[in-house]
Amino acid sequence: MEFRLLGTVGVVTGAGGVQLGPAKRRSVLAALLLRANSAVSVDQLIDTVWDTAPPAHARTVVQGHVSRLRALLSSAGAAEHGVGLVTRGPSYVFEVPEALLDTYRFEWLARRGRSRQRAADAVADLGEALALWHGPALDGTAPSASLLAAAQALEEERLEVAESLAEAYERLGDRAGAIAVLQAEAVAHPLRESLAEALVVALDRAGHRSDALDHYHRTRCLLADELGVGPGPGLRGAYEAILRGGAGEAPGRPGRGVPGGREEACSGAESGSGPGSAAGAAADSSAGSVTGAVAGAAAGSAAGPARVRESPERAGTVPRLLPRGVKGFLGRDTELDALDRITGAGTVALVTGPAGVGKTALALHWAYHAQSRYPDGTLFADLRGFGGVPAEPAETVREFLLALGVPARRLPESAACAAALYRELTSERALLVVLDNVRGPGQVRPLLPAGAGSAVLVTSRTRLGGLIVEELARPVPLDVLGPVPATELLAAAVGEERVAAEPEAADRLARLCDGLPLALRITAAQLAARPYWRLADLAAELADEQRRLALLSLDDAEDSGVAAALRITVQGLAPEAMRLFALLGVVPGPDLDRYAAAALLGRPPAVAAEALDRLAGAHLVTEHAPGRYSLHDLVRLYARGLVTDDGALLRLLDGCTATALAASLAAEPGEKPCCALPGDAAADLPVRTFADRDDALRWYAVERENLAAAVSAARAAGHDDRAWRLVVLQWPYVVWSVRDGWVPLLEQALEASRLLDDPDAESRVRALLGWVLTREGRLSEALARLEPAPALAARAHDTSGEAIALINLAVALDADGVTDTSLHHVTRAVRLAREADDVLTELLALQHRTYQLLDRGDIAAAERCTAYALALDGQGVTTGLGVMRRATLRLSRGEALLALGERDAAERCVRQALAEATRQGFQEGVDRARSQLASLGGAVAPPVRPEDDDRSVLSP
């Protein structure tokens, strides 16, 4: 026998878990176990069970739970293990050997592990201690102050043991093990500085310096945002130690210095904001020192091509056409390594990314340090694919021929002859050809060198799929900078002293610039031109979304801003893609799929999918998961300024509503729809189809954040009739994840329904909201929301809705014990469901009626109730909640039959329930059936109350 507090409060025997019943009974057991072998008064138990004012019959309820616990322990053979629950005056004592308590074993193992001299022994003991945890401490109990405090204390002990385990792994030399432990805990407890400090140190020791710095900065931002404080001395000291220890040259980066041996210190933007532009000049004047690279050459690198034989025709003609690189290059180690790997002889590398992300800077930076691998020279051309008049390939070929030593008087007059000469001259040369700012493959093909010893580096804002297919080009995608390099870019441009004086403001500027190098360079130029401005001043200005894009441009360089770069990209789109982009500004959530895009466009999903793919090809949206697209913040702001279609948001909301309705019907087939589409919704809305229940539930999980954002957008735009529907249509997912913070969203729906003065809407929202509050143990709030619901449903002439509201109200009332009032509510619910010919709701009512009868000890009536319920017409109850309810009724019937002495009949009934629950994937039913089958030879297990079954609710 084992008593568990480190997870869901429970009792486990060799036959399995003991079915304890409702949360209040678990709370009584938890309070007794926390003070095992000591007296606990009834008043203390009352305070544990009710956090607010207890009801008048609280003492009787507690005594009833103690009595039931004694019966459960007796039937589980507790006496054989030296366990007993005895009364001593006005108190109770839970007598139990300490070894049976998981908390005792946890503390013992933790003490022993910390005292171990050998690291391996410490790891074994501390790991075994943490393995005793099966979830949050004291889970499944009432949220009273005393139990919450005890759970917090236990969680604090667990975290200390986790930190000790990480230290033991370090002593053992297993840094990966230490990092794994610390990362898991740091994700769950991001504000715990001791964890952050330990993880930062562990990452640095393991050679992950950038990850360590990144975690420090993320923790610092969280502390500032959530608590309004900075890092403590320990975490700050770890950070400073990394900076001191990390100074100097980094290994494994030969050949990354600029010509002349000096490395620049900023990440570059596009050529439009490079040397000669105002932003580039500002960055040049503030360039810093070497960061994260080693100066030097890489001549003769194994990554380069083999030297081809000399030819007298090209002797002394080694072109070097690279323009001066963008000053201040930082980071991009992953992309530089990728170029090192793939730009061997005969290859085409393709650097792609959105406007302003630094493609040109990356290409020039790499090319400068790789050109020594290509002894016959470097050719460069800006093909002006985005902005200005695109360069003609024939024009570029002539420039390349001149660079290769062909006299101007010998240049062929026809483009075809010039191309043939270019192929001839490059057939045996080892050249590096850099083609910047390419719009399409047609600009590239005539410029490809003919020899196998050459390599080509292409940059473009589009994916250039044709080049990948026809020339086997190797893509190197380039995204925005992460928080650390973005902040370092600012420091390099405006001075490390200014950034060090305002680190939080610098981080905020980096976030407001979306990590886009072009935006960061312009921001640096703004600060350089205004030395009297604090970084926080500019951050406050940029925080205004109405002005941000205007601020991210320069007065004397109208074509160098973020908006200008995006405008040029958008102008090259196909009409349908351009129209969709102009509508993306109304999307309230973090991403969208083709169905949402189709709703925006008012076009079929196939058309929307093609438009999204074109936007992704132009790097205006990012396909972060198959079929799901997101926008960077600056792109979203630009799109928002293009919206001219006032009906776009309403189409999007109606598309979401229609798909949510389809998902609810797929998730719970046989249920009546909880609402219809708004009367003025379009008839041909794009709706996704769902293969089965699991498919629908996955959709709910993926779209949860988008649906919540849609509700807020609907309320802000005055579409309350859409807002409440978008909430209640999520009820199947709410049922399966009820403890996942749904109350704020449901409160929004309730406010929307009140403003509409719609009794049908309000009753449905109240029924679901009250049930969720009941599951969270917030009974007084639940009752306040539920009590008006039946009358509102009756006002709306919704008979089934009234029955559901009555059932959910009874569930809340029965949390403190079955009352005559709750019995009356359920009796009326049965009658209403029968009148409405609503079999599923009648089954739900009869299921709860059975619980009530079993709880009151009226076994014969419970058996008759289940017999009647199971004899109902099975139409509409062959899948989903119908099967679950029938399985649950069979389990209750098995309990009743066993209590009446009909063991064989009880076993048949439970086995049938097990088969139904297994087919449906109803795991709670499977577990309960197995438990009943295991105990059929002994005492009857206590009935599971409806508050312990997440599926006791029907659609709102």
Mean pLDDT to the nearest integer, 928-932: 86
Both structure tokens of 908: 């048949």
| pLDDT for 956 | 60
Identify the band that residue 256 occupies on the pLDDT scale cut at 50, 70 and 90. very low
> Rg of the Cα trace of the chain?
35
Cα dihedral 770, 734, 793, 721 in deg (nearest 10): 110
| pLDDT for 555 | 59
Out of 226-230, 273-277, 949-953, give the one with best mean pLDDT: 226-230
The residue behind tokens 């952050």 is 196
Mean pLDDT to the nearest integer, 303-321: 50
CA of 483: how far to CAs of 185, 471, 487, 516, 561, in Å? 22, 36, 6, 11, 21
| pLDDT for 349 | 92
| pLDDT for 599 | 94
Q: What is the pLDDT of residues 793-849, one digit of tens each?
A: 999 999 999 999 999 999 999 988 888 899 999 999 999 999 988 888 888 899 899
Q: List the single range of 68-82, 315-329, 823-837 with lowest mean pLDDT.
A: 315-329
Q: List the single range of 81-90, 123-132, 575-584, 879-888 with lowest mean pLDDT.
A: 879-888
Mean pLDDT to the nearest integer, 398-414: 86
The residue behind tokens 């059932």 is 807
- Asked if 217 and 236 touch (Cβ cutoff 8 Å), the reply is no
Greatest C-alpha distance within the chain? 116
Question: What span, in angstroms and rounded, lies between the C-alpha atoms of 461 and 617?
Answer: 8
- Asked whether residue 721 carries a pLDDT value surpassing 90, the answer given is yes
Identify the band that residue 245 occupies on the pLDDT scale cut at 50, 70 and 90. low
Both structure tokens of 28: 């009584």
Mean pLDDT to the nearest integer, 428-439: 91
Identify which has the larger pLDDT, 343 or 552. Answer: 552
| pLDDT for 88 | 86
| pLDDT for 591 | 93
- How many CB atoms are closer than 10 A to CB 244? 8
- Asked whether residue 263 carries a pLDDT value surpassing 60, the answer given is no
- Asked whether residue 950 carries a pLDDT value surpassing 70, the answer given is no
Q: What is the pLDDT of residues 741-796, one digit of tens each?
A: 899 999 999 999 999 999 999 999 999 999 999 988 899 999 999 999 999 999 99
Question: What span, in angstroms and rounded, lies between the C-alpha atoms of 637 and 515?
Answer: 15
3-class state of residue 13 by DSSP: strand
Question: What span, in angstroms and rounded, lies between the C-alpha atoms of 880 and 732?
Answer: 10
Q: What is the pLDDT of residues 289-304, one digit of tens each?
A: 222 222 222 233 333 3
Q: How far is CA 580 from the centre of its chain?
A: 26
* pTM: predicted TM-score of the whole model, two decimal places: 0.63
The residue behind tokens 């002439």 is 797
CA atoms within 13 A on the CB side of 501: 9
DSSP 440: S
Of the chain, the percentage scoring pLDDT greater than 90 comes to 34
- How many CB atoms are closer than 10 A to CB 80? 8
By CB atoms closer than 10 A (0-12, 13-18, 19+), residue 362 is: buried
Out of 245-249, 442-446, 874-878, give the one with best mean pLDDT: 442-446
| pLDDT for 493 | 81
- What does the DSSP assignment read for 164-185? HHHHHHHHHT-HHHHHHHHHHH
Mean pLDDT to the nearest integer, 236-254: 57
- Asked if 837 and 876 touch (Cβ cutoff 8 Å), the reply is no
- Asked whether residue 5 carries a pLDDT value surpassing 80, the answer given is yes
- What does the DSSP assignment read for 204-264? HHTT-HHHHHHHHHHHHHHIIIIIS----HHHHHHHHHHHHHH-SPPTT-TT-SPTTS---
| pLDDT for 671 | 76
- What does the DSSP assignment read for 502-519? -HHHHHHHHHHTTT-HHH
pLDDT, the chain, mean: 83
| pLDDT for 293 | 26
Question: What span, in angstroms and rounded, lies between the C-alpha atoms of 49 and 144?
Answer: 7
Identify the band that residue 559 occupies on the pLDDT scale cut at 50, 70 and 90. low
Q: What is the pLDDT of residues 870-885, one digit of tens each?
A: 888 555 455 566 778 8
Q: What is the pLDDT of residues 326-353, one digit of tens each?
A: 676 777 888 888 898 877 767 899 999 9
Identify which has the larger pLDDT, 248 or 380. Answer: 380
Out of 299-313, 875-889, 920-934, give the one with best mean pLDDT: 920-934
Mean pLDDT to the nearest integer, 662-673: 85
Q: List the single range of 55-59, 602-606, 798-802, 822-826 with lowest mean pLDDT.
A: 55-59
CA angle 236/238/239 to nearest 5° reads: 65
Mean pLDDT to the nearest integer, 594-613: 94
Kind plus residue range of the DSSP H or E element containing 459: strand 455-460
3-state SS, one letter per residue, for 693-756: HHHHHHHHHHHHHHHHHHHHHHHHCCCHHHHHHHHHCCHHHHHHCCCCCCHHHHHHHHHHHHHH
CA angle 866/871/877 to nearest 5° reads: 95
Q: List the single range of 136-150, 314-328, 461-475 with lowest mean pLDDT.
A: 314-328
Q: What is the pLDDT of residues 133-189, one digit of tens each?
A: 988 899 888 888 888 889 989 989 999 999 999 999 988 888 888 888 888 888 888
**CB-based contacts of 546-554 (< 8 A; 24+ apart in sequence):** 548/512, 548/634, 548/637, 549/634, 549/637, 549/638, 549/641, 551/526, 552/513, 552/519, 552/522, 552/523, 552/634, 553/522, 554/277, 554/278, 554/279, 554/522, 554/525
Amino acid at 535: L
| pLDDT for 333 | 84
| pLDDT for 530 | 81
| pLDDT for 251 | 32
